[in-house]
Amino acid sequence: MAVRVENQAPPLRDYNLVAENRPLLEAVRREGADWAEESLHALGDELGGEPLEWGRLANEHPPVLRTHDRYGNRIDEVEFHPAWHALLELGVEHGLHARSWRKPRRGAHVARAAAFLALGQVEAGVGCPLSMTHAAVPALRASPDLAEAWEPALTSLLYEPGLRPVGDKRGALCGMAMTERQGGSDVRANETEARRAGDGEATLHGHKWFCSAPMCDAFLVLAQAPAGLSCFLVPRVLPDGARNAFQIDRLKDKLGNRSNASAEIRLDGAWAQVVGEEGRGVATIIEMVVHTRLDCVLGSAALMRQAVAEATHHAAHRSAFGAPLVDQPLMRNVLADLCVESEAATVSALRLARAFDEGDDGFRRIATAVLKYWVCKRTPAVVGEALECLGGNGFVEESGLPRLFRESPLNAIWEGASNVQALDVLRALRREPASAEAFLGELEPGDAAHVETVLRNASEEGARRLVETMAVALQGTLLDRHGDAGVAEAFRARDGFGAFGTLPPGLDAEPIVERHRPRL
């Protein structure tokens, strides 16, 4: 006799990931990308179908390194499951790697940010090559000849895997390789040597401890040149079709982000071209890093949103102790608290994206590091609590929450871990008064006064507390100004940032949860 399965939530699929994310849509309209709403709806509808399964498959079948072919020839290729290619092709077709540059206009960065956030709910791994390719364009523009040669392929909407010279490819991807074993975030300790080979050319000799997405067509790499630390473009394939001296030693066995390959590489005389001014490598590549840090914020906001969607969906369809979980006061408090955190992340991330559109370098300079620190730092707590809302079901791989949980710490580490961000904020506040004024000018007077009070006593050991204060002030201001009134009230009513589910009694939590719960 067939067993009836009751009191289980239906799978969260076949729904529009953009249309059902009200805070995201409101931010898109508010921050200047209302013109992109139709295309975003189309993307959200597509993502809610088969790509959800692609994300699962890409993680269950991680990439494999093939160092040699059957005849013993060195090939250094990474083999991916078809689901990875399907997801990456989807991202490229929708311009997540190029949307800001193909048709610059009001809201272009905001539209691209919303699309990136939506795809991040399905699978985070493909966000890495998409993000780095998008961020490489402004860095390459420091050398107009290189930009002219590479930008058409890097901004193409055609996905063309396989290694060939850039002149033979209509679509290409770009990565970066900065850190080394002995240096980590201290990139000035890099020991990779650049030996001059001609005007603007060099051969690179050294290693990189982390090279994300090593299957890309080219990489921005830091190396020590005669004039000092410099930025170089290293193609995987030379103009004549020969393989460059770019060897992959091994792939990292990572906690999460398992669909994406991260490698240790060796450069044994790899041909490279200098990007920007020799000796100004950090200043050149930082333009890339600024954009990828924005994507860390967006990626973390995406993980929060997906975790909240799963938790609220489950609670609406699962009953215990005589009532649906969503109707039980304590569970509703927990869910509402998670929803508030997710909305704060989304609202602040898209406000930051608008700063990129408007060339608001002062605000962007500090807000990027502030939100990179805070939103990424809050994500593991949000995902962990959402997982608990599903109980034992959430601890099982089939729920998808364990994959989100393993992914959740990553963005706080990539592109400069939390201490790096906090110290960067402290340095900018002290050295760049215009940036400090721009950030404080964004805040409501009460929030600005509170930040200034903490800033007066700021020290290196207290940098994290300062950045937390700045982030909460910014999010509070933005929610007051633009967010849902109930969400803004709940955010302000919090007594610190401890365990979720501690919102004070008397708040109307039900509409907050319903605002964030996806409808199938």
DSSP 90-158: HHHHTTTTTHHHHS--TTHHHHHHHHHHHHHHH-STTHHHHHHHHHHHHHHTTSHHHHHHHHHHHT-S-
Which of 36-40, 165-169, 274-278, 314-318 shows the lowest mean pLDDT across its residues?
165-169
Instruction: Find the length of the chain.
Output: 520
Task: Tell me which long-range contacts 23-26 makes (C-beta under 8 A, separation of at least 24).
Answer: 23/342, 23/343, 23/346, 23/347, 23/483, 23/484, 23/487, 23/515, 23/516, 24/114, 24/117, 24/118, 24/305, 24/346, 24/350, 26/482
Q: Same structural domain for residues 200 and 117?
A: no
Per-residue pLDDT reduced to its tens digit, 366-379? 999 999 999 999 99
Q: Same structural domain for residues 323 and 415?
A: yes
Percent pLDDT > 90 in the chain is: 92
Amino acid at 383: V
- pLDDT surpassing 80 at residue 478: yes
Q: Same structural domain for residues 90 and 195?
A: no
- pLDDT surpassing 80 at residue 390: yes
Does 95 map to a domain?
Answer: yes
Does 165 map to a domain?
Answer: no
C-alpha span between 404 and 243 (Å, rounded): 37
The domain total for the chain is 3
Per-residue pLDDT reduced to its tens digit, 198-223? 789 999 999 999 998 999 999 999 99
C-alpha span between 301 and 107 (Å, rounded): 19
Q: Same structural domain for residues 397 and 484?
A: yes
- pLDDT surpassing 90 at residue 189: no
Tokens of 351: 């406000």
DSSP helix/strand/coil, 518: coil
Burial class (CB in 10 A: 0-12, 13-18, 19+), 258: buried
Q: Same structural domain for residues 429 and 451?
A: yes
Per-residue pLDDT at 289: 94
Q: Same structural domain for residues 260 and 368?
A: no
Q: Same structural domain for residues 394 and 492?
A: yes
Query: Which residues, other chains included, contact 187 with Cβ-Cβ below 8 Å and sequence gap of 6+?
Result: 178, 179, 222, 229, 282
Residue 158 CB coordination number (10 Å): 12
DSSP codes of every residue in 66-82: EEE-TTS-EEEEEE--H
Supply φ then ψ for residue 360, to 5 degrees: -80, 75
Q: Which residues of 272-307 are buried (b: 16+ CB within 10 A; e: fewer)?
A: bbbbbebbbbbebbebbbbbbbbbbbbbbbbbbbbb
Q: 517 near 313, Cβ under 8 Å?
A: yes
Per-residue pLDDT band for 496 (boundaries 50, 70, 90) equals: confident
Does 430 map to a domain?
Answer: yes
C-alpha span between 87 and 127 (Å, rounded): 10
DSSP helix/strand/coil, 241: coil
Higher pLDDT, 141 or 185: 141
Q: Which residues of 498-514 are buried (b: 16+ CB within 10 A; e: fewer)?
A: eebbebeeebebeebbb
Radius of gyration for the alpha carbons in the chain, expressed in angstroms and rounded: 23
Per-residue pLDDT at 1: 64
Q: Same structural domain for residues 473 and 379?
A: yes
For residue 178, the enclosing domain spans 173-282
Does 163 map to a domain?
Answer: no
Does 14 map to a domain?
Answer: no
Per-residue pLDDT at 182: 82
Q: Same structural domain for residues 358 and 277?
A: no
Burial class (CB in 10 A: 0-12, 13-18, 19+), 29: middle
- pLDDT surpassing 70 at residue 85: yes
Mean pLDDT over 46-74 rounds to 97
Q: Residue 264 pairs with which residues in a beta bridge?
A: 250
Does 297 map to a domain?
Answer: yes
Mean pLDDT over 160-175 rounds to 94
Per-residue pLDDT at 196: 87
At which of 255, 282, 309 does a domain end?
A: 282
Q: In whole angstroms, what separates CA 8 from the centre of its chain?
A: 32
Query: Which residues, other chains included, contact 469 with Cβ-Cβ below 8 Å and sequence gap of 6+?
Result: 450, 451, 454
Q: Which residue in 58, 101, 104 sits closest to 80, CA to CA?
A: 58
Q: Which residue in 476, 494, 496 sits closest to 347, CA to CA?
A: 476
Mean pLDDT over 414-441 rounds to 94
Tokens of 249: 């030693």
Does 308 map to a domain?
Answer: yes
What is the torsional sign of CA 91, 111, 353, 16?
Answer: negative
CA dihedral angle for residue 314, residue 315, residue 320, residue 323, rounded to 10 degrees: -130
Average pLDDT, the chain: 95
Q: 270 near 246, Cβ under 8 Å?
A: yes
Mean pLDDT over 132-152 rounds to 97
Domain of 500, CATH number, reads 1.20.140.10
For helices 361-389 and 433-442, give the axis angle rounded to 10 degrees. Answer: 50
Q: Which residues of 97-136 are buried (b: 16+ CB within 10 A; e: fewer)?
A: bbbbbeeeeebbbbbbbbbbbbbbbbbbbbbbbbbbbbbb
Name the H helices within 390-462. 401-407, 410-413, 418-431, 433-442, 445-456
Q: Same structural domain for residues 233 and 305?
A: no
At which of 282, 298, 323 does a domain end?
A: 282
Q: Same structural domain for residues 322 and 253?
A: no
- pLDDT surpassing 80 at residue 2: no
Amino acid at 440: L
- pLDDT surpassing 80 at residue 185: no
Helix, strand, coil shares, percent, the chain, to 5: 55, 15, 30
DSSP helix/strand/coil, 195: strand
Per-residue pLDDT reduced to its tens digit, 241-295? 999 999 999 999 999 999 999 999 999 999 999 999 999 999 999 989 999 999 9
Per-residue pLDDT band for 3 (boundaries 50, 70, 90) equals: confident
At which of 238, 259, 282 does a domain end?
A: 282
Does 459 map to a domain?
Answer: yes
Mean pLDDT over 488-509 rounds to 94
Q: Same structural domain for residues 278 and 314?
A: no
C-alpha span between 323 and 297 (Å, rounded): 37
Q: In whole angstroms, what separates CA 429 from the centre of its chain?
A: 25
Q: In whole angstroms, what separates CA 444 from the centre of its chain?
A: 28
